[in-house]
Amino acid sequence: MNALLMSPIVLPLATGVLGLAMRPYRRGQQVVSLLASAAHLAVAGALLNAVWRDGIQVDQVGGWPAPYGITLVADHLSATMVMITAIMLLATVVYACCDVAEDSLVKDIHPPLQVLAGAVCGAFLAGDIFNLYVWFEVMLIASLALLIAGASKEQLDGAVKYAALSLVATTLFLAGIGLLYGLTGTLNMADLHVRVQDVENTGLVTAVAVVFIVAFGIKAAVFPLFFWLPASYHTPKVAVSAIFAGLLTKVGVYALIRLFTLVFTVDVGYTHAILLWIAALTMLTGVLGAASHNELRRILSFHIVSQIGYMILGLALYTPLALLGAVFYVVHHIIVKANLFFVSGALRRLVGASDLRDLGGVYRERPLLALLFFVPAFSLAGFPPLSGFWAKFFVIKASLQAGQHLVAGVALFVGLLTMYSMTKIWVNGVWKARPESTPVPDEVRRPLRVALLGPIVALASLTITIGVVVEPFYALAERAGQELTNPDVYVEAVLGRGGEDVPVAEALPAQLGLR
């Protein structure tokens, strides 16, 4: 058993169970959650180091050989996603400990946060599609528990919309799994790469691929399936909104990247052309939705949609540089978007409002907080030398190299509108004087604890580091892109023998000790 592969899943799940048992003890629950999140970060770092040093890590759970047992796989993409998940979990737990005051909410937030992180890591490390589906379901349960923590009318309304669309997505996902198994007789992703090539009816394979595009498209909030996200992500507590904004849609993006570089590659001209149109329309509709709103978290929610388009664009172009750019963009966006939600929560604590028309005066009262907003906001817009500049540069350069000048123009135009949107927030919410015509009652304001700024400072520093010291992050994304471009490396690591399958008549008797 490879403990490094199991630990990022088992540790947060076990912490979630322990947190439920410690529900009567608020402070103890917080301490356990903090310590476990720090340990999770250490384990994720060790896994990433092992993959960087020794290559793809594989564990056949229970000793059953692939493709018959449960397979866990960590390549550079998976290990990077597990690492960023651990960073987000620790930042969110620290923020929640400082921000969530009500005893009932404290007891209700930490256990599902840990379970959510375990499920997300399970999805990133799953080596077969059915277990990917299982982890999606665990994520749905944990995220619903977080959405309704507090049980306000607005939260319940958002949770219903989120649950309804998630159930549609998982139903389509399960239907696609059944169709794919009927065509190939396997669900192991490495084995699928081999067997899909042998299916004579390529049109049917393409039809199944479209089913998965819709299923994962709902999860990733792409056009025209994104409407559930702005309706639900602004409703829960800020810590919950932040980890949702950073991680949940990226699991859908990860699933699309994994399947459409490893499994559905028989008709790239058709499937990836669909993804290219989806990417362009997702970028445009998301940024236009953000420009039309004034409530801070709604603006940020629409920008999630817009930025997802850049990631899908990298997949749709399907070149080494484009896939490198997609991976780089995912990492950058998780950090920046979660941090913007953290800052929005700090602004609400300080001013007691989150509508741009009621905000103002932050730069004069709290210049550090204003600076901490500036870093992720203008990184999202693509200002050099922040991480967002490089993320956009790689994707747009790949578009130009592929001859997709129209899509590159759309990406540049969306970048300009993102800059306008962030500038609007800066001018109206941070720079201008606070309006006196709409005073906010003092009882809705809360003191801004210094510890609350800890996660914001850490994530802002990481954003600057990625932008200024780009080489190691580029190298990591490049390795991930190379593995995605050359899936035979993944197949050989999982199946062995150069990707050849082991016949069941030989594998199972050996496994059972009959030979």
Burial class, 61, CB count within 10 angstroms (exposed 0-12 / middle 13-18 / buried 19+): middle
The C-alpha atoms of residue 267 and residue 209 are separated, in whole angstroms, by: 10
The C-alpha atoms of residue 85 and residue 407 are separated, in whole angstroms, by: 30
% of the chain at pLDDT higher than 70: 87
Name residue, tokens 């004034």.
294
CB 404 within 8 A of CB 484: no
**Position 506 confidence tier, pLDDT thresholds 50, 70, 90:** very low
Per-residue pLDDT, 328 = 95
- H-run or E-run covering 74: strand 70-74
**Whether residue 385 has a cis bond before it, omega within 30° of 0:** yes
Per-residue pLDDT, 505 = 37
Q: What is the mean pLDDT of residues 502-514?
A: 39
Per-residue pLDDT, 25 = 81
Q: What is the mean pLDDT of residues 189-211?
A: 92
| Orientation of helix 76-99 relative to helix 453-468, angle to 10° | 150
The C-alpha atoms of residue 261 and residue 280 are separated, in whole angstroms, by: 20
**Does 377 map to a domain?**
yes
Which residues, in sequence order, are CB contacts of 285 under 8 Å at separation 6+? Answer: 223, 224, 226, 305, 306
pLDDT digits (tens, 9 = 90+) for 470-505: 999 999 999 999 999 999 999 999 988 443 444 433
Beta-ladder partners of 72: 59, 126
% of the chain at pLDDT higher than 90: 52
Number of domains in the chain: 1
Burial class, 112, CB count within 10 angstroms (exposed 0-12 / middle 13-18 / buried 19+): buried
| More confident of the two residues 498 and 38 | 38
Asked if pLDDT for residue 356 goes beyond 80, the answer is no
For residue 493, the Cα-to-chain-centroid distance in whole angstroms is 25
Per-residue pLDDT, 389 = 92
Per-residue pLDDT, 35 = 95
Q: 315 lies in which domain range?
A: 267-468
**Does 355 map to a domain?**
yes
Q: What is the mean pLDDT of residues 217-242?
A: 80
Per-residue pLDDT, 42 = 96
Write the DSSP symbol of residue 434. Answer: P
**Does 407 map to a domain?**
yes
**Taking all residues of the chain, what is their mean pLDDT, rounded to a whole number?**
85
| More confident of the two residues 230 and 306 | 306
Query: Tell me, what amino acid is at 11?
Result: L
Per-residue pLDDT, 319 = 92
The C-alpha atoms of residue 69 and residue 61 are separated, in whole angstroms, by: 7
**Does 232 map to a domain?**
no
The C-alpha atoms of residue 178 and residue 94 are separated, in whole angstroms, by: 41
For residue 272, the Cα-to-chain-centroid distance in whole angstroms is 21
Q: What is the mean pLDDT of residues 313-324?
A: 94
**Position 300 confidence tier, pLDDT thresholds 50, 70, 90:** confident
Asked if pLDDT for residue 68 goes beyond 80, the answer is yes
pLDDT digits (tens, 9 = 90+) for 74-133: 999 999 999 999 999 999 999 888 876 554 565 678 899 999 999 999 999 999 999 999
Per-residue pLDDT, 503 = 43
CB 103 within 8 A of CB 29: no
CB 142 within 8 A of CB 20: no
* Backbone phi and psi for residue 295, each to the nearest 5 degrees, phi listed first: -75, 130
CB 124 within 8 A of CB 44: no
Cα–Cα separations (whole angstroms), residue 281 to 13, 213, 334, 392, 462: 37, 15, 21, 17, 30
The C-alpha atoms of residue 386 and residue 216 are separated, in whole angstroms, by: 30
Per-residue pLDDT, 346 = 82
* Backbone phi and psi for residue 288, each to the nearest 5 degrees, phi listed first: -70, -35
Per-residue pLDDT, 498 = 41
The two three-digit tokens of residue 441, written as one number? 């009652």
Per-residue pLDDT, 182 = 92
The C-alpha atoms of residue 78 and residue 207 are separated, in whole angstroms, by: 27
Asked if pLDDT for residue 231 goes beyond 60, the answer is yes
For residue 9, the Cα-to-chain-centroid distance in whole angstroms is 16
* Backbone phi and psi for residue 58, each to the nearest 5 degrees, phi listed first: -130, 140
**Does 214 map to a domain?**
no
**Does 156 map to a domain?**
no
Per-residue pLDDT, 235 = 67
The two three-digit tokens of residue 162, written as one number? 């989120």
**Position 344 confidence tier, pLDDT thresholds 50, 70, 90:** confident
**Position 232 confidence tier, pLDDT thresholds 50, 70, 90:** low
Per-residue pLDDT, 128 = 92
The C-alpha atoms of residue 121 and residue 67 are separated, in whole angstroms, by: 21
CB 409 within 8 A of CB 369: no
**Position 223 confidence tier, pLDDT thresholds 50, 70, 90:** confident
**Does 64 map to a domain?**
no
**Does 289 map to a domain?**
yes
pLDDT digits (tens, 9 = 90+) for 304-313: 889 999 999 9
